[in-house]
Amino acid sequence: MNHDDISSDSPVDDLEFGDILQRAYRHVLSWRQSVTDRPVFPVVTSNELRDLLTDGSPPEAGTDAISTLDILARAGELGSTASAGPRYFGYVIGSSLPVAVGADWLVTAWDQNATLYSCGPAVSVIEEVCADWLVKMLGLPPHTSAGFTTGTQMAAFTCLAAARHHLLARQGWDAEADGLWGAPRIPVIAGEQRHASIDRALRYLGMGTRVHDVGCDANGAIDLSALRAELDRVDRPPIVCVQAGNINTGAVDPLREVCELTHDRGGWVHVDGAIGLWALASDKYRHLFDGAHLADSWTTDAHKWLNVPFDCGIAFVAHPDAHRAAVGVTAAYLEASAHRDQINTVPDWSRRARSVPVYAVLRTLGRAGIARLIDRNVEHAHRIAAHLAAELGIEIVNEVVLNQVLVRFTAPGHDDDELTREVIARVQDDGTCWLSGSVFDNRVVMRISICSAYTTAEDIRRSADAIIRCGRDAMARRARTTGTG
Ligand SMILES: *Cc1c(COP(=O)(O)O)cnc(C)c1O
């Protein structure tokens, strides 16, 4: 085979690049323009999606790229939730701002391996700037190091690995070299309403999930006297895991007191701020986080309230040496670098430059713009709670402090868990908005989480009306079937 044959045989035609990206751009635009008005959850079956995507056998001969994009766009159009739209209140899922989507396209097109400075100086410096801005904007200690992970799950892994290193090193144990075989046990104390990703991170780290549970107050914030009792019970410096934004209620644990009590015992405080940490940017809500800067590590999700596309979580560690010792790398082929090599901040080796959309949002909105996004969403949460609470048979279960609202439907003589579940299903089918159920204080609740920069007061009104309508329908059906009014 001569060289001409090889080049004419290339599977890649550079001339196609413009056409393909134009096509993708058209699909993207039509999707994003539809997210405001489409049913928030798609009406399609998984079989319909499968039939569209495959006839059951892997492709033998290839097909043209444009038709491949068209098929993907069709599947996405039919089977994606409008979580980028203004009335998606499910789980805790943010939208993505246009500048963040645009920046994410650059990340894809640059195709840099965000692992070493020498793999791409630009993304290394963007990440460095981003980390610096965030530490200052959130008011964390100036020496805090940061790593950009897939989400808070891996950010928690990173932070707890640093905690493990730090506490064991001070007891003369080298966890990195010797593992945990025979190591002193690190007691882990955590609020009983912690997110399950904490336990999962502990599992990955070989620390086990036998956590000392601490009870919570009525709104899901850690109870300080219960924490004191647990701290008195443990015989070594513990890791204490608290949260800034309870997954159900949005409650923020009393961070200053927790840090003071824990540090008195030589322990490490980790703050799960997946939802709430961004409110540190708000003059109005910063006071809820009093003492946050005293903790030893923090996590947050940019793909939630900062409204960047998936995936992006952030680990912050106030002990940069422990951070690096826990997840950093020393390998023969990695020469000592004077630059910020991202590999030393996260568990990943190769990865995409996921800090770039974060930079884009920070620069475009500024601290003040992020504060407006937070303040507006919290206002929306209060507004929808007030609107719903005015309806007979609807109870707001939590004290609304951030963006989370828990709703329960009640009717005398009926099982309120079942009623609430039915209303959730009706709202999901109705398509005006989408939200999920949860269990709080052993009771089924509807959970409304408001994270999107696009949500307006009108969206809140429409959604509240739809929820009320579904509630009335569910109650009317019950009244009919049991013959009671
Ligand atoms: C979402 C969430 C997590 C997990 O974060 P991922 O980004 O999904 O990994 C952890 N803690 C809390 C409080 C959360 O809301």
pLDDT digits (tens, 9 = 90+) for 266-324: 999 999 999 999 999 999 999 999 999 999 999 999 999 999 999 999 999 999 999 99
Give the residue, 481 or 345, on which the prediction is more confident. 345
Q: What's the average model confidence in pLDDT over 401-423?
A: 96
Which of 247, 248, 253 to mutate for ligand 1's pocket (most ligand atoms within 8 Å of CB)? 247
Work out the pLDDT band at 2, boundaries 50, 70, 90: very low
pLDDT of residue 324: 96
CA distance to 132, 378, 404, per residue, from 250 (Å) = 27, 10, 5
Residue nearest to atom 12 of ligand 1 (CA): 274
Running DSSP on this structure, what letter comes out for residue 88? B
List for the chain the helix, strand, coil content (%; round to 5).
45, 10, 40
pLDDT of residue 481: 78
Task: Inform me whether the pLDDT recorded for 4 exceeds 60.
Answer: no
pLDDT of residue 232: 97
Cα gap 427→86, rounded to integer Å: 16
Tell me the pLDDT of the chain averaged across its residues: 95
Reported pTM? 0.95
Task: Inform me whether the pLDDT recorded for 369 exceeds 60.
Answer: yes
CA distance to 190, 272, 441, per residue, from 220 (Å) = 12, 14, 9
pLDDT of residue 12: 63
Q: What's the average model confidence in pLDDT over 25-33?
A: 96
388 closest CA partner among 445, 305, 441, 429:
445
Work out the pLDDT band at 10, boundaries 50, 70, 90: low
The atom of ligand 1 lying closest to the CA of 245 is: 13
Which of 197, 249, 404 to mutate for ligand 1's pocket (most ligand atoms within 8 Å of CB)? 197
Residue 221 CA to ligand 1 centre (angstroms): 17
Residue 428 in contact with residue 87, Cβ under 8 Å? Answer: no
